Amino acid sequence: MLSTAHPSRRGVMKAAGLTAMTALGTGGVLASASAAHAAGDGFGLRIVDRNESDARMRYFRFATSAIGWNPGVNVLLPDGYHTSGRRYPVLYLFHGGGTGQDFITFDRMGIRAWTAGKPLIVVMPDGGAAGWYSNPVHSNTGARNWETFHIAQLLPWVDANFRTYAEYNGRAVSGFSMGGFGALKYAAKYYGHFASVSSHSGPASLRRDAGLVTHWANLSSAAVELGGGTVYGAPLWDEARVSADNPVQRVESYRNKRVFLVAGTSPDPVNWFDTVNETQVLAGQREFRGRLGSAGIPHEWHEVPGGHFVRPDLFRRDLDGIVARLRKA
């Protein structure tokens, strides 16, 4: 949901594919995906800023008609990527909501250390302060089509510019809070894209408690993202859109996927924001887990003490599970 990570916890092909891949995007022939070749434009994305000097972390900023400003993305490469010649599975990792959250969030938290030695590419894009990983019903601030940016543009761009497995068993999606909702949503709506989905303190039910999460998505997006516009429509919702995005209404879409869920059981009683967030997360995830269980869909879940913040130990456990589920480098 709309939140920031708790500041006190922040520290806290079977054979290798050896040939370069060339792909055709909307801008023409893209750069080769070989280790020695710089990434290029395509799929509606034009690179306007970049830094590829770091051995592992690649930074890009794009101009795109999907978003009214230039969103950024960090692409974290595995150790040895430049010399291995291998292809790798990819994790798309989404930040939570709030004005202090962006594509750098997980780098600040320690994602480089968490992934050291793991054969996995991690893609961390902007998702807006309250974008809710959605194309809104209405915006007064220009284009804010985050779903289009992530799924129709960024995903194929990554596959064209890096040595990935461009297939179901080659991708996972995960996130915290609002990003955890985005992960659940994308995994269901785009079933053939992701073999593993993880939600760390992300809401899983849009309609429970008179639609509290949907109302919050509308209010938060109106306040800090859309200049009074909303994700789902107000005063009346776009009911079909809510149903399409609602994890508890898309249970069959999680079959044959690895599902990993985390929720806190004891939010800070003094911090009303923490209490409202994680109380709703916990209730929604329990509802979701109940439906998964009734459908016979395996899932791993963790209810742990504390409220609405990132838990590095469970992120590391999740990363190990992601690597085990996806196609090997």
* pLDDT, position 274: 87
**Is the per-residue pLDDT at 269 higher than 50?**
yes
Query: How many Cα atoms are found within 13 Å in the side-chain-facing hemisphere of 325?
Result: 25
Three-state helix/strand/coil letters over 26-95: CCEECCCCCCCCCCCCECCEEEEEEECCCCCEEEEEEECCCECCCCEEEEECCCCHHHHCCCECEEEEEC
pLDDT per residue as tens digits for the range 105-139: 999 999 999 999 999 999 999 999 999 999 999 99
Map tokens 């993880």 to a residue.
198
Please report how the helices 208-224 and 272-294 are oriented relative to each other, as an axis angle in degrees rounded to 10: 130
Q: Which of 177, 196, 205, 220 is catalytic?
A: 177
Q: Are strands 121-125 and 171-176 parallel, antiparallel or unpaired?
A: unpaired
Helix intervals (H) in the chain:
81-84, 105-109, 111-114, 146-147, 155-161, 178-189, 208-224, 239-245, 272-294, 312-325
* pLDDT, position 12: 34
Q: Are strands 196-200 and 171-176 parallel, antiparallel or unpaired?
A: parallel
State the Cα–Cα distance between residues 9 and 23, nearest whole angstrom: 41
C-alpha torsion 69→62→57→123, nearest 10: 80
pLDDT per residue as tens digits for the range 155-202: 999 999 999 999 999 999 999 999 999 999 999 999 999 999 999 999
What percent of the chain stands above pLDDT 70?
89
With bands split at pLDDT 50, 70 and 90, how would you rate the model's confidence at 1? low
Per 3-state DSSP, the chain is made up of helix, strand and coil in percentages (nearest 5) of: 35, 20, 45
With bands split at pLDDT 50, 70 and 90, how would you rate the model's confidence at 213? very high
Query: How many Cα atoms are found within 13 Å in the side-chain-facing hemisphere of 271?
Result: 16
Return the minimum-mean-pLDDT range out of 9-13, 84-88, 104-108, 292-296.
9-13
**Is the per-residue pLDDT at 258 higher than 70?**
yes
CB 125 within 8 A of CB 93: no
Q: Which of 102, 126, 245, 274 is catalytic?
A: 274
More confident residue, 34 or 112: 112
Separation of first and last alpha carbons in the chain: 33
79 a catalytic residue: no
Q: Which of 134, 200, 308, 318 is catalytic?
A: 308
With bands split at pLDDT 50, 70 and 90, how would you rate the model's confidence at 273? confident
Q: What is the pTM of this model?
A: 0.89
8 a catalytic residue: no
**Is the per-residue pLDDT at 68 higher than 90?**
yes
174 a catalytic residue: no
Dihedral sign from CA coordinates of 307, 308, 310, 315: positive
Tell me the CA distances in angstroms from 317 to 90, 118, 262, one per residue in order. 17, 12, 11
CB 326 within 8 A of CB 195: yes
- Number of neighbours of residue 21 by Cβ within 10 angstroms: 17
State the Cα–Cα distance between residues 20 and 30, nearest whole angstrom: 12
**Is the per-residue pLDDT at 37 higher than 80?**
no
Q: Is 213 left (phi over 0), alpha (psi -120 to 50) or beta?
A: alpha
Q: Which two tokens stand for residue 325?
A: 């589920």
pLDDT per residue as tens digits for the range 8-31: 333 333 334 433 332 333 333 333
